[in-house]
Amino acid sequence: MKKYINRGLWFFGAAIFLSLGACSDDIDPEIKQLEFERAFSPTSFDVRILNQTTARFNWSSKNAATDFVLELSKDSLEFASIIDTYEVNIEDLPFEMLLEGETRYSARVRAKGLDGLADSNWTPITFTTGPGQILLPRQEGDITHNSIVVRWPAGASVTHIFAVVGTTVVRHDLSADEIEAGVALVAGLNSETEYQIRLMDGLKTQGTATITTFIDLGGAIAVYPEEDLKAIIEAAEDGVTLALFPGEYLVGTGSVDITKNISIVAVYPTDMPVLHSRFILSGTGNLNFSIKDVILSGFTVVEGAVSETRDTYVLDLLNGAEFGTVRLTNVQVLDFQRSLLRGTSGGGDIQNFIVENSLVYRTTDGNNEFIDLRSGRVHNITLVNSTFAEVASTRVFLRADDIAGFSGQKVVIENCTFYKAALPSGRWLYVRTAAPIVTVRKNIFVNLGTGDNLVGDSPVINDNNYVEAAAISGFDSSAKSYDPAFVNAEEFDFTVQEEEIIFGAYGDPRWR
């Protein structure tokens, strides 16, 4: 039986061999090159909106295509009516064009065929532009305590202006003469109030701006540089606002005790007064203290003149002091030797410490932390939309120690730019309070200290950009590492040139 099976297998194999030999002339030759009838479609088609209404188009070429056709329509991928057609060479990419604001567009691109190939299929995309922006720069005197002058190119298509704060809207309908002149006065505003100005053309926005009206001196005490600011503060009634005219304020003793509710503001935020002073937070009763639109200089005054000697602390929280909110808004802090806020002398208490829209340079190169809370309690610390450069040059940027009976401290640091902080080996954050809630988002960190950070058990640290800042980036699961390409960091010009940071909205907004 085995013999017959072996013979059968032999005949079956021979048949297959003969069959293959007989068919060999019909096998197609090896395919070494694919041929196509049309060009490949562009890939990675992308549109980014710059300055609200400038569209930047980019795509990738395949199969050596160098010339493309770009078409535009006002719809959502319908292309019912093409409004513009562009011939674009690969060397023209990225390709930019100025479009109308607040408009839905569709665009499509195809590669032109080469060497007899037909054009590629279309690659489409849809996008919406932001509000238009035709507002012209403001001039000196355009803002008062109750009005704003709005300017635009003469004769532009505009109909009215909104001034918006919260749910309150002031509307100014434009006359034919105002439209032709390109200028209008919007009155009836409140003093010391931030408004969003919207220049409109029917339902479309033609320009936006954020402005803050000046202080109404009718409700504040006017202060001039030649006056004794320390004496005025000591004599002021509780709850007063001091409006400082431009100039240098030379506080002879170098410090002012804050023992009442008080606000210090500039009369003209565009012309900041300079204070050579530090402030002692010593009052009780849940006080509020704020400084706005002012430059705080650390260079001390000796015999009525500014010296080269630098002062120590900007804000010094004393034992037993009780403050509700301590706020720095649009303040520049320069050249102090030690802390921005010191709480090391006992059990002082602040509910809210806020630094917003501010610049702090060359502060804390002495033997202290930048924010030093070894014994002072600050329940909520908020640093937003601000820049901190060459600060905490030997030790910790923010230190909050464990204090008996104090827990749940909240720290929020968002949209700030940090440059050379806590160098060379200091910690950036050293939060040792019980059960802290630390949130760090959308910041730029460049060249930070290498010390280990303490941020509590459940920090929310995400979507920040780090360069030479590995000690803190390790906490961030969505860390970015783009070089912001600052225009001139050594001269404190932190204007960002890296597009990914601009579009990602990282860091202090003023530099984007």
197-225: per-residue pLDDT in tens? 999 999 999 999 999 999 998 889 999 99
The domain that holds 345 is classified in CATH as: 2.160.20
**For residue 6, what pLDDT band results from cuts at 50, 70 and 90?**
very low
27 pLDDT higher than 80: no
What is the average pLDDT across 467-485? 96
Single residue among 189, 212, 235 that ends a domain in this structure: 212
Same domain, 225 and 306: yes
Q: Which domain holds residue 72?
A: 43-128
Distances (CA, A) of 162 to 157, 249, 354, 418, 455: 16, 38, 30, 36, 44
pLDDT value, residue 366? 80
Same domain, 406 and 271: yes
Single residue among 195, 212, 229 that ends a domain in this structure: 212
Same domain, 300 and 333: yes
Task: Please choose, from the candidates 82, 79, 69, 71, the residue with its C-alpha nearest in 3D space to the C-alpha of residue 113.
Answer: 69
Task: Confirm whether 397 is domain-assigned.
Answer: yes
Structural domains of the chain, count: 3
31 pLDDT higher than 50: no
Between 85 and 3, residue with greater pLDDT:
85
CA 361 to chain centre: 18
Q: What is the C-alpha separation between 196 and 159, in angstroms, rounded?
A: 17
Same domain, 407 and 339: yes
Place of tokens 């102090």: 336
Task: Confirm whether 141 is domain-assigned.
Answer: no
β-partners of residue 310 are 299
Same domain, 200 and 223: no
Give 324-344 pLDDT, tens digit per residue.
999 999 999 999 999 999 999
Cα distance from N-terminal residue to C-terminal residue, the chain: 90
Same domain, 306 and 397: yes
pLDDT value, residue 35? 59
**For residue 253, what pLDDT band results from cuts at 50, 70 and 90?**
low
